[in-house]
Structure 1
Amino acid sequence: MPMSEYYRELRGKAGNGLLMMPSVAAVIRDEQGRILLIRKKDETLWGLPAGAIEPGETPSRALRREVFEETGLMVTPEQVSGVFGGEKYRYEYGNSDQVEYTVIVFECSIVKGNLRSMDGEAEELEFFKEDEMPEIAIPYPKKLFLRDPAAPKVVFD
């Protein structure tokens, strides 16, 4: 989905300047345990299905909406796997819009759906093994993606 009216209005006031953005992201695994990443049009780096939380929207509802729009999959958030924010979660889009994300990352299970970009944002959708993941746009710690029983259940940064 294109930028919401709320964020369009903020951008109208801030221009390309830095916006703090509450957001959600999904770690979605297939039957083989591979992790779904998306690559958006005009971007070279991959990322998790993710997006902004809209006013009045709960994080879990935002997550389900964003995942469906970007991937065509309906998911259930199973648990919070990480919460991240701060300067290293700043990102500049190709149009020079700057954001600093505060991200709640959920481990999700697939309920149903066919893998495809519903809103046209994603150019590629692909599942990757934990040890074969490409560089991703947001610098989540590697331990977020590990299914190691010794790894912490929730990662904070």
Structure 2
Amino acid sequence: MPMSEYYRSLRRKIGTQLIFNPGVAAIVRDARGDILFQRPSADSDVWSLPAGSIEPGETPAEAVVREVWEETGLRVTPERLSGVFGGKDFRYTYPDGNQVEYVILMFECAAVGGHLEAIDGESAELRYFPSSAPPPLALPYPRDIFLQTESERARFQLPEAFEDGS
């Protein structure tokens, strides 16, 4: 679904200025372990995970189930929290000028039903990519978040800034 009534009402009051936006994102894998990504428009070179805003009164788990359904036509069950992301690198300005800084709870989800098709018109293309080769993304998720096993993730090192405790 495009912008909800809650965010539309907020934008009428504050215009396009920067807001914090709590959101969710889903890692949904196929039988091979490839990850589902969505391209929001046919003229865009960047992709996204199925993702969206948490609405007032909604839990993060409820939001990820709703967002995956709306954007992909798949029914999912959240299995675990994979990470929490935010900060200036997660700022985004939409074509209409609305500025957001996302705080994203990312869930690993299992597909339990439905069939792959965009329900809400927010996905121009849905495609699975190998976890080792995700497409160019709109937000800078760390590459190791897409790896499926602990042994795969162990091959990646923390950035130097974290190695000395800073």
| Fold shared per TM-score above 0.5 | yes
Per-residue CA distance 1:80-112 (angstroms, 9 max, x = gap):
000011111101111111100000000000001
Moved more, 14-23 or 39-48: 39-48
1:138 and 1:81 map into 2 onto residues whose CA distance is 16
Equivalent position amino acid for 1:28 in 2: V
Are 1:80 and 2:81 counterparts?
Answer: yes
Normalized per residue, the structure richer in strand is 1
Which residue matches 2:4?
A: 4
Are 1:96 and 2:91 counterparts?
Answer: no
2:26 and 2:77 map into 1 onto residues whose CA distance is 10
Query: Structure 2 length normalisation: TM-score?
Result: 0.88
Aligned pair in 2 of structure 1 residues 43, 95: CA closer, same or farther (>3 Å)?
Answer: farther
Equivalent position amino acid for 1:29 in 2: R
Moved more, 20-29 or 139-148: 139-148
Q: What SS is found at the alignment partner of 1:117?
A: coil
**How big is the shift at 1:73?**
0.2
**How big is the shift at 1:5?**
0.8
- Which 5+ residue runs of structure 1 have no aligned equivalent? 153-157
Q: What SS is found at the alignment partner of 1:131?
A: coil
Q: What SS is found at the alignment partner of 1:10?
A: helix
Tell me the percent identity: 53
2:125 and 2:106 map into 1 onto residues whose CA distance is 21
**How big is the shift at 1:148?**
3.2
Which residue matches 2:24?
A: 24
Q: May I ask how many residue pairs the two structures share in their alignment?
A: 153
**How big is the shift at 1:10?**
0.9
Equivalent position amino acid for 1:111 in 2: V
Are 1:35 and 2:35 counterparts?
Answer: yes
Which residue matches 2:132?
A: 131
Which residue matches 2:160?
A: none
**How big is the shift at 1:134?**
1.2
Which residue matches 2:158?
A: none
Maintained 8 Å contact 1:43/1:94:
no
Kindly name which structure, 1 or 2, has the bigger radius of gyration based on alpha carbons: 2
Are 1:108 and 2:109 counterparts?
Answer: yes
**How big is the shift at 1:149?**
1.7
Q: What SS is found at the alignment partner of 2:132?
A: helix
Which residue matches 1:155?
A: none
Q: What SS is found at the alignment partner of 1:122?
A: coil
The 4+ residue runs of structure 1 with deviation greater than 3 A are none
**How big is the shift at 1:147?**
1.8
